[in-house]
Amino acid sequence: MGVTDSPSGPTWRLLVTEPTDGATNMAVDEAIWLGRRGGASPPTIRFFAWTPPTVSLGYGQPLDGHVDVAACHRLGVGLVRRPTGGSAIYHDGPECELTYSVAADAEDIGGGARDLLHSYQWIGRALATGLRVLGAPVQMVGVARGDEPTPAFCFARTGSCEIEHGGRKLVGSAQRRYGSTFLQHGSVLLGVDAGRLAAIFPTTGDPLATLTTLEAALGHRPKFDDVAAALAAGFEREHGLELRPDGLSADEAATVERLVRDKYVTDAWLTGPA
């Protein structure tokens, strides 16, 4: 299934799901990505949250002392490995964070199959537009130098085409590509629990030093649904998309069940690196 042209522009699926556990969240996104790769799923933008709160590790990130597994267990925080790259993120439920994903083909966004920077820019522009709709004065950074060591905590450094407010990182994103298709994840901070960040990332000197939140940018903490609506509007305005709310197909739902069982809840996948 490709992009359908309509009077409002290309049609994408908008998927807003209820908070669920880390294994299910990651399986949903991989199922959509696999479906897009095979031509059975439409290009999709998803907004979601996590319950219980969960630390997601990057695809190739080692599970080592930079993330305190004992603290996660003590605090009731889940652990999962993402299918996308980057560093670890603490997802603190819908009152403090919104996660987005974009699963698409390069042709869906007018880019070449290997044009990684174009896809980051395409998504980053839409996110910035949406956050400005919400009233947040944000900026999309340019191309990062790329010669600095990768931190264990995603928000310790701003990467290419990510979103900042006041020189601090507000949205952290990571991507993985297969052929001409890609899956990108990102975390939008509504608020932050400083104590939990310090406990979970013991080797990160001051987790708050490099990040900010929408609460800080706006003077109040916005609701998850309001942020999701603003971001959807950002994609529509920036790229002329028509986002149609829909759910998973039967095939996608079956793939989710298989991926949860055979991959995302297994110790082999979690302990990696993959």
What does the alpha-carbon distance between residue 274 and residue 270 come to, in Å, rounded to a whole number? 8
- Number of residues in the chain: 274
For tokens 């999701």, the residue is 228
Angle at 65 between CA 61 and CA 68, to 5 degrees: 100
Of 110, 137, 131, nearest in space to 233 by CA: 131
The single-letter DSSP state of residue 61 is: -
Q: Are 190 and 216 in contact (CB under 8 A)?
A: no
Give catalytic status of residue 154 as yes or no: yes
* Catalytic entry in 72, 96, 154, 161: 154
| Identity at 58, one-letter amino acid code | G
Q: Are 222 and 134 in contact (CB under 8 A)?
A: yes
Give the C-alpha separation, 160 to 10, whole Å. 26
Determine phi and psi for 75, rounding to 5 degrees. -90, 0
Separation CA 271–CA 274 (nearest Å)? 8
In DSSP terms, which residues pair with 244 in a beta bridge?
13
DSSP state of 110: T
Q: Catalytic amino acids?
A: 154
